[in-house]
Amino acid sequence: MRLFFTRRLAPCLIILSLLIGGCALSPKTVMVAEDIPATTGTTFAAYQNSGLEATRTVSFDLQGPWDFTQKSGDAIFRSRLVKLSQSPAREQFPEAAYAEEVFPSVQSGEVPLFNFVGRSTKAISVYGQSSEDSTGAATYKRYTNPERLLVFPLTIGNSWKDTIAAKNTPTIKYVITRSVVARGEILTPAGAFFDCFMVRAIREPVGAGKQTERTVMYVWWAPGIGPVAAVGSQAGETKMLFTQAAYVWRLQSYRIAK
Per-residue pLDDT tens for 17-64?
333 333 433 467 899 998 887 788 888 899 988 655 578 889 999 999
**Structural domain for 225, as ranges:** 33-255
C-alpha torsion angle, residues 111, 176, 154, 43 (rounded to 10) = -10
Alpha carbon 243 to chain centroid, angstroms? 20
Would 246 be classed as within a structural domain? yes
Would 28 be classed as within a structural domain? no
* Residue that wins the pLDDT comparison between 224 and 4: 224
Rounded Cα gap, residues 5 and 126, in angstroms: 13
Would 85 be classed as within a structural domain? yes
Would 13 be classed as within a structural domain? no
pLDDT for 64-111, tens place per residue? 999 999 877 788 889 999 999 999 999 999 999 999 999 866 545 578
pLDDT confidence of residue 18: 36
pLDDT confidence of residue 257: 77
Would 162 be classed as within a structural domain? yes
pLDDT for 229-245, tens place per residue? 999 999 999 999 999 99
pLDDT confidence of residue 7: 38
pLDDT confidence of residue 183: 95
Average pLDDT over residues 133-159: 94
pLDDT confidence of residue 210: 64
Would 6 be classed as within a structural domain? no
Would 12 be classed as within a structural domain? no
Instruction: List the CATH number of the domain containing 124.
Output: 2.40.360
Which of 3-17, 67-81, 114-128, 197-211 shows the lowest mean pLDDT across its residues? 3-17
In the chain, the number of structural domains is: 1
Would 21 be classed as within a structural domain? no
